[in-house]
Amino acid sequence: MPCSFVESSTGLRITFTDNVIEKFKHYKNANKEAGGLLFTSNIHPNTLTVDEISLPEKSDSRFFAFFKLNIRLANKRIRKMFESNYQYVGEWHSHPEPFPKPSETDRKTILSVFNKSEHNLAYMIHVIIGTQGFDESFVCLTDGNQILTCNMLSDKD
């Protein structure tokens, strides 16, 4: 079942498809942090659906409490996905904790990714998955100046 989050001040709703959530599950209990890129094939004014992600590459830096993408391969993936009508909208990585919160390094990276990327987005998304279910993940938006935490919507919303 898809899972949606909303950021209250912007009203932006982010939905993650079943396919994406299933891929995240493979990395929630990994002995090394994992990560990748977030993509969408459709952006609407107040709604964005993350319907594809990239998976860790062998050349990424992966340790128990640290992850860093291979930038060269990440940029190559972004271009390839763009050719298939997918837009890069952010990044994800895992944390070895049940209820993940961004570290100071994560916070700097979240802001930096927005500021250093070539895009026309008002916000980019960042997801940190923990060892619990996806509904306990940390999901946020950034405009390059601030980090806005998103809240999961219930089935009734």
> Which CATH number does the domain housing residue 116 bear?
3.40.140.10
Residue 130 lies in a domain: yes
| Residue 20 maps to a domain | yes
Q: Of residues 83 and 1, which shows the higher confidence score?
A: 83
Residue 122 lies inside a defined structural domain of this protein: yes
CA distance 24 to 36: 10
**Residue 157 belongs to some domain of the structure:** no
Measured CA to CA, the distance from residue 92 to residue 55 in angstroms comes to 10
How confident is the model at residue 59, as a pLDDT?
Answer: 77
Q: What whole-number distance in Å separates Cα of residue 79 and Cα of residue 12?
A: 25
Per the structure block, which two tokens stand in for 84? 């298939």
What pLDDT does residue 41 have? 95
State the Cα–Cα distance between residues 143 and 31, nearest whole angstrom.
32
Question: How high is the pLDDT of residue 114?
Answer: 95
Residue 67: pLDDT over 90: no
pLDDT tens, position by position, 100-134: 999 999 999 999 999 998 888 999 999 999 998 89
Helix ranges (H only) for the chain are 18-25, 71-83, 104-116
| pTM of structure | 0.92
User: Minimal CA–CA distance to 110: which of 131, 98, 86, 127?
Assistant: 127
| Other CB atoms within 10 A of residue 108 CB | 11
What total of structural domains would you count in the chain? 1
Higher model confidence: residue 44 or residue 5?
A: 5
* 43-62: pLDDT as tens digits: 888 899 999 999 888 877 76
The answer to whether residue 128 is domain-embedded is: yes
Q: For position 155, what pLDDT does the model report? A: 65
Domain that holds residue 118: 3-152
HSE-up of residue 147 (Cα within 13 Å, Cβ side): 19
Mean pLDDT score, 142-151: 96
The pLDDT score that the predictor gives to residue 57 is 81
| Mean pLDDT across the chain | 90
